[in-house]
Amino acid sequence: MTMDPKFNKTDPAEMLDYIQPRFREILAALEEDPTREGLLDTPKRFAKSIQFLTSGYRTCVDTVVGKGIFAAESSEMVIVKDIELYSLCEHHMLPFFGKAHVAYIPNKKIIGLSKIPRIVDVFARRLQVQERLTAQVADALMEVLQPLGVAVVIEACHFCMMMRGVEKQNSKTITSAMRGDFFTDPTTRKEFLTLIK
């Protein structure tokens, strides 16, 4: 069953108005006092912050790429590494954060380098599991650029493991998605993995 909250989805302010009183109820349910001074504006701040952290639902790859694709002859590997990444795990809505490394092999087209971190954010600013986030970034680049291959590696720390549950502070989760030449050609894959070390 899908829930469809009744407010004007094209108006960001209406979403904030919808979330605030509901979050105030959650504060009360937690045995806090939403009327005390320090918490008076917290529902508003929470609504704004969660709206931003999930803004990936309200944009798409085509919008962020815009006119950022150019003709080119090169078919050498392009790597953007150490892209800062912040997302929310869908199971606990706690942050996970780390780095993404993205590579592609052009097929007559290249993409503006600043577009790659922006594609990462389209998917990171949603409720995620790291595995799906990794695959979505790879598949989006394959679709928008039709390159000979795409590789994505994400390394991240998960607050839901650090603050609760197993309480392991130093474990990192590493996921990868290989498409095209990176999937079929071990030499290409190895070159990428060596370069992001």
Pick the binder of Zn ion from 50, 79, 157, 160 (CB under 5 A). Answer: 160
Half-sphere exposure (Cβ direction) of 5: Cα atoms closer than 13 Å: 11
Task: Check if the beta carbon of residue 72 is closer than 8 Å to that of residue 107.
Answer: no
88 has which bridge partners? 95, 127
Per the annotation, the verdict on 158 as an active-site residue is yes
Q: Does 88 bind Zn ion (CB under 5 A)?
A: no
CA 116 to chain centre: 12
- Of 9-17, 69-77, 85-93, 142-150, the window that binds Zn ion (rule: CB under 5 A) is 85-93
Per the annotation, the verdict on 101 as an active-site residue is no
Q: Does 89 bind Zn ion (CB under 5 A)?
A: yes
Per the annotation, the verdict on 160 as an active-site residue is yes
Taking the complex as a whole, how short is the minimal distance between the CB of residue 153 and Zn ion, in angstroms? 20
Write a three-state SS string for 21-65.
HHHHHHHHHCCCCCCCHHHCCHHHHHHHHHHHHCHHHHCCHHHHH
Q: Does 92 bind Zn ion (CB under 5 A)?
A: yes
Identity of the residue, 77 or 89, whose beta carbon is nearer to Zn ion in the bound complex: 89
Intra-chain end-to-end CA distance of the chain, in Å: 45
Site for Zn ion in 2-41 (CB under 5 A): none
Q: Does 91 bind Zn ion (CB under 5 A)?
A: yes
Tell me which residues touch Zn ion (CB under 5 A). Answer: 89, 91-92, 160
Give the active site residues: 89-92, 130, 158, 160
